Amino acid sequence: MNRVFKALSDPSRRRVLQLLRQRPMSAGELADHFPVSKPTMSAHFSVLQEAGLIEAEKTGRTIVYRLKMSVLEDALLGFADTLGWKMKAAGDTRHLAANGRPKPRPLKGEV
Amino acid sequence: MEAKPTSYYLAPALLVLGTGLAVANWYLRPQRAVVWGTVLLLLGGMTLALLLVRHRSGDEAAGRHGADSVRSGIVFAGLTIAFSLSVKLATTLGAAAHSDLSQRVTMTLLGAFLVLTGNVIPKTLTPLSALACDPARLQALQRFAGWTWVLTGLAVAVAWLVLPLRLAEPISFVLLPGAILLIVVQLFRFRYARQRPA
């Protein structure tokens, strides 16, 4: 559940989920809606996939992303949008922009 | 060694508990033998299903997933039966005063079951390559069915928890067929739109 909260804490990732509510979209179609680099978008997709909120499927030469949210996760997305959650989002986004991939999770026992 | 899911141990435990409670109820109220006999038959069927999945699930992921689903269903049904039989037994022994408690618990659990099953409906995806319809419409249908099921389950559970029986009964008997009807209508609209030429 932690991964879900982390994924929903970022406004860009929430926007991706809102776009996917309309229909499944390719990575390119989704990236067109955001003024960020492709590696950054790719990192956002990875975080959403890790949380189990979206699923990627390769069709031909494109990767199509689909929503894979339970009703509870859908409701959480609605709450997050309404309340504008920004848990740790600023730090994560800075890390994404600098490295093009999400911040690595600390190992067990590591602080 | 891979850890077994909780349902692996819980399902047989609940079946044994349910059987014990049914036998105890039969012993104390033999005039309702038909009811206890039916419950015991049901528990026997569930035990058979449990034994079958234990032998047939195999090592492949799909088999394990199917077995887990069956076990989860048995856990839920076993929990409902055990709870209901416990309350009946307690009422017979004079330990519980409310005779409607059993019905309330059963219906609240049914509501919870609807919430749990509805919650995962939108998460069940078919590979795009295997779809013969518009994936966007299918996704909309799944989300609609999931939300309808979850809200209906919540309403039923809350109604049986807090409302008097004379209100909870009609409300749930309107809500449940209403939700099913809504989903069936959406399903027909989905199928009709699929068959209609573009």
**CA nearest to A14, candidates A64, A83, A62:** A83
CA-to-CA dists, residue B29 to B21, B23, B97, angstroms: 12, 10, 17
Mean pLDDT over each residue of chain B, to the nearest integer: 85
**Per-residue confidence (pLDDT) for residue B83, from 0 to 100:** 86
What is the least distance, in Å, from the CA of B154 to any CA of chain A? Answer: 12
Yes or no, beta carbons of B128 and A69 under 8 Å apart? no
- What ipTM does this complex have? 0.73
- Set of chain B residues whose Cβ sits within 8 Å of the Cβ of A55: 125
Q: Which of A6-20, A82-96, B41-55, B126-140 has the lowest mean pLDDT?
A: A82-96
- Set of chain B residues whose Cβ sits within 8 Å of the Cβ of A25: none
CA-to-CA dists, residue B149 to A41, B109, B162, B179, angstroms: 34, 14, 20, 7
Task: For B118, name the nearest residue in chain A, comparing CA atoms only.
Answer: A71
Higher-scoring residue by pLDDT: B196, A51: A51
H or E segment to which residue A64 belongs: strand A62-67
Extract the tokens encoding A23.
Answer: 């229909």
Instruction: Report the CATH fold assignment for A2-98.
Output: Arc Repressor Mutant, subunit A (1.10.10)
Choose the mutation target among A4, A17, A63, A70 for the interface with B, i.e. most B CBs under 10 Å: A70
Yes or no, beta carbons of B123 and A69 under 8 Å apart? yes
**Per-residue confidence (pLDDT) for residue B21, from 0 to 100:** 94
Buried b (16+ CB within 10 A) or exposed e, A90-106: eebbeebeeeeebbeee
B127 touches chain A (CB under 8 A): yes
Higher-scoring residue by pLDDT: B8, A86: B8
Q: How many cross-chain Cβ pairs, A to B, lie less than 8 Å apart?
A: 47
Confidence of residue A107 (pLDDT cuts 50, 70, 90): very low
What CA–CA distance (Å, rounded) separates B149 from B122? 11
Yes or no, beta carbons of B119 and A66 under 8 Å apart? no
**Domain spans in chain A, listed from the N-terminal domain onward:** 2-98
> What does the DSSP 8-state code read for residue A63?
E
Kindly report, residue by residue over B140-197, the tens digit of the pLDDT.
999 999 999 999 999 999 999 999 989 999 998 899 999 999 999 988 888 777 665 5
The strand order across the sheet containing A62-67 reads A25-26, A62-67, A54-59
> Is the CB of residue B74 less than 8 Å from the CB of residue B82?
no
Task: For A69, name the nearest residue in chain B, comparing CA atoms only.
Answer: B123
